[in-house]
Amino acid sequence: MYELIVFDWDGTLMDSEATIVQCLQKAAEDLGYPIPEVARAKDVIGLGLHQAVARLFPGADEKQVDALADRYRRHFLSEERPPSPLFPGAEALLRELASNDYLLAVATGKSRRGLDRELEHSGLGRFFHYTRCADETFSKPHPQMLLDVMDYLGTDSGKTLVVGDTEYDMQMAANADSDAIGVSHGVHHPQRLQQQGALAVFDELEQIAPWLQAR
């Protein structure tokens, strides 16, 4: 049924939630802003960086958002920061899907520089036919990122499945007329994913391949 599987990155394949929250909090501390609570910081994960910062600090003007985003990047891209771990089963899932000739891609709220770093550190870059980042096009839930992936790989929306952990992933898929499934180990509660059209929500990545085989 599906030819193309498009993965979100943070909270879906990589367990980077704590790192992102800490970097957002450090950015606020550096510039003298109120430090956001963990729950609020978690809720914007999945959006492009500028969109996430603007939502987290609604009183900030464009210049202030730029400054906060820059401080976030400095912390996140620091060579002193250890890489975040992959979720259990991430590499095995991608290997199995690749062996079954699925086209694999990433559509993420990360920057190109940030994603390339994580693909290199994790060793997962070899599995993906194409990747698209929020600093290259519109942020989720806008569908353009997903439409770009489909256009590049020559696949239509009816044969494309999005895998993500946030309602922004589910909304992006719906806005592109594609299907989506969720994972429960990310930042948004499974009920939110289901309310936004997730066909299923899985607790373990290893459950996805059998589900696909049964379609």
pLDDT (average), residues 89-109: 97
pLDDT at 134: 93
8 Å CB contact between 87 and 208: no
Average pLDDT over the chain reads 95
**The pairing of beta strand 201-202 with beta strand 4-7:** unpaired
Task: State yes or no: is 148 an active-site residue.
Answer: no
8 Å CB contact between 172 and 107: yes
pLDDT (average), residues 19-31: 94
> What percentage of residues in the chain have a pLDDT greater than 70?
100
* pLDDT of 128 above 90: yes
* pLDDT of 79 above 90: no
Q: How confident is the model at residue 193 (pLDDT cuts 50, 70, 90)?
A: very high
pLDDT at 215: 82
Catalytic residue among 8, 43, 165, 169: 8
Q: In what order do the strands lie in the sheet with 130-133?
A: 130-133, 103-108, 4-7, 160-164, 179-183, 201-202
pLDDT, tens digit, 9 for 90 and up, residues 138-147: 999 999 999 9
Task: State yes or no: is 30 an active-site residue.
Answer: no
pLDDT (average), residues 132-159: 96
Which span out of 55-59, 75-79, 175-179 was modeled with the highest average pLDDT?
Answer: 175-179
Is the whole model's pTM more than 0.75, yes or no?
Answer: yes
- What six digits make up the tokens of 186? 């990310």
pLDDT (average), residues 84-106: 97
pLDDT at 82: 84
* pLDDT of 14 above 90: yes
User: Cis (ω within 30 of 0) for the bond into 88?
Assistant: no
pLDDT at 42: 92
pLDDT (average), residues 4-14: 97
Catalytic residue among 10, 43, 165, 169: 10
Q: How confident is the model at residue 161 (pLDDT cuts 50, 70, 90)?
A: very high
DSSP-based three-state secondary structure for 158: helix
Spell out the domains of the chain, with CATH numbers in brackets: 4-15+86-213 (3.40.50.1000), 17-76 (1.10.150)
> What percentage of residues in the chain have a pLDDT greater than 90?
93
pLDDT at 37: 95
pLDDT at 80: 81
